[in-house]
Amino acid sequence: MKKYITNLYGHSRSSTAMAAQHLVTSIAKQEGYSEIRVGPYELENETVEDKLKIMEGILSGVSKESIVIAQMPTWYGIVFDELLLQALRNRVENLVIFVHDFVPLMFLNNYYLFDRYISAYNLSDLIILPSKKMEERLVEKGLTSPVIYQEVWDYQVSLPSLGSPEFQKNIKFSGNIERFPFVKTWNKTVPLEVFSEGNLSQSSTAVLKGWLSSDELLKSLNKGGFGLVWSENIENQNEKEYSEMNASFKFSAYLAAGLPLIVNQGLAKESFVRDYRLGYIVSDLDQAVDYITNTSSKEYAQLLVNVKQVNSLITDGFFTRKLLNQIQEALFLRKKEESVDYL
């Protein structure tokens, strides 16, 4: 049976959405999957018929006896996603939808599209979600497809080697400051380095490092300190609530760089941090500052040992390979159950 995976093109080099899809595709190709390129397209004035022609083109080589993993969303809009998923459903035997982000929960002004996304995702034989909490929200709205969970993102590294981070009482944060405005007014006693474009307020003591490529980011993070995964609600985006359902890409970037974590309480992957003792779970940023201020070099060294054990898995693509195996196992078991029921 042939195996395919969709892969997004056409976004800027700083696009986390595209980076995540390329990462999964890269590992999937090592496991025998072929790539279905999606984009770049200029679709603003395209009709439904035009979009259907695009579907015919990108799916022309995909046979019926295939598994296709559709990485969603494509970020080309709900109409495009609906048409792509329906075209795949009509064409292939096994359709798996890998939800990287659920747009109606991510952006408040897209909440009205909830039912359309659910209908499109119910076309799948299997759906991959980042958390049980997201599954519960989608099931409440009518999701019926069986679900398996993504554990964490992998984060492959092209650098030959990274050293052990130094014991530094500072915080590293990678994220667009427009989405995470707490950095604009940072004035706490622990230094904060921010990897983002933008401008800070005059009162902020944070240091703006700008956007860095993946390799440069990892080298800078690897110098030491703690990686912060933090969300707060902003206009049109309930970031705090959404962080309790999704899988953060920066979470894995910090671990790939060897950094211990500081994460907000309630984070979807909070148990991952707790179970593997990868850092501190805090209810507010003052608590984060207290933890860091009172951490000893010995405690930091033990955190580094714990992080290193997980780091080797993340940078090797372990969690994506595990997920790909779970997909095939789930599809096989479903077919086996159907054949038993038929007999």
* CATH number of the domain bearing residue 231: 3.40.50.2000
**Confidence at residue 321, expressed as pLDDT on a 0 to 100 scale:** 97
* Same domain, residue pair 300 and 331: no
Q: How far apart are CA 44 and CA 47, in angstroms?
A: 9
Q: How far apart are CA 248 and CA 265, in angstroms?
A: 14
Residue 70's H or E segment, with its range, is strand 66-72
Say if 35 falls within a structural domain.
Answer: yes
Say if 22 falls within a structural domain.
Answer: yes
Give the closest residue to 64 by CA, choosing from 91, 24, 27, 103. 91
pLDDT band with cut points at 50, 70 and 90 for residue 335 = low
* Same domain, residue pair 306 and 334: no
Contact partners, residue 139, CB within 8 Å, separation at least 6: none
Provide the domain limits for residue 193: 166-315
* Same domain, residue pair 327 and 310: no
**Confidence at residue 336, expressed as pLDDT on a 0 to 100 scale:** 57
Of all residues in the chain, what percent carry a pLDDT higher than 90? 76
* Same domain, residue pair 256 and 334: no
pLDDT band with cut points at 50, 70 and 90 for residue 161 = confident
* Same domain, residue pair 329 and 242: no
* Same domain, residue pair 304 and 327: no
* Same domain, residue pair 8 and 142: yes
* pLDDT tens-place string over residues 284-314: 999 999 999 999 999 999 999 999 999 999 9
* Same domain, residue pair 64 and 206: no
Say if 256 falls within a structural domain.
Answer: yes
Say if 290 falls within a structural domain.
Answer: yes
**Confidence at residue 199, expressed as pLDDT on a 0 to 100 scale:** 83
* Same domain, residue pair 246 and 179: yes
Say if 204 falls within a structural domain.
Answer: yes
* Same domain, residue pair 178 and 267: yes
* pLDDT tens-place string over residues 88-111: 999 999 999 999 999 999 999 999
**Confidence at residue 339, expressed as pLDDT on a 0 to 100 scale:** 52
Is a pLDDT exceeding 50 seen at residue 342?
A: no
Say if 159 falls within a structural domain.
Answer: no
Of all residues in the chain, what percent carry a pLDDT higher than 70? 97
Say if 161 falls within a structural domain.
Answer: no
Q: How far apart are CA 120 and CA 135, in angstroms?
A: 15
Say if 327 falls within a structural domain.
Answer: yes
Which two tokens mark 28? 């999937």
**Confidence at residue 71, expressed as pLDDT on a 0 to 100 scale:** 98
Query: Domain tally for the chain?
Result: 2
pLDDT band with cut points at 50, 70 and 90 for residue 165 = very high
* Same domain, residue pair 322 and 282: no
* Same domain, residue pair 130 and 224: no
* pLDDT tens-place string over residues 35-48: 999 999 888 888 89
Q: Is the pTM of this model over 0.75?
A: yes
Contact partners, residue 89, CB within 8 Å, separation at least 6: 95, 123, 124
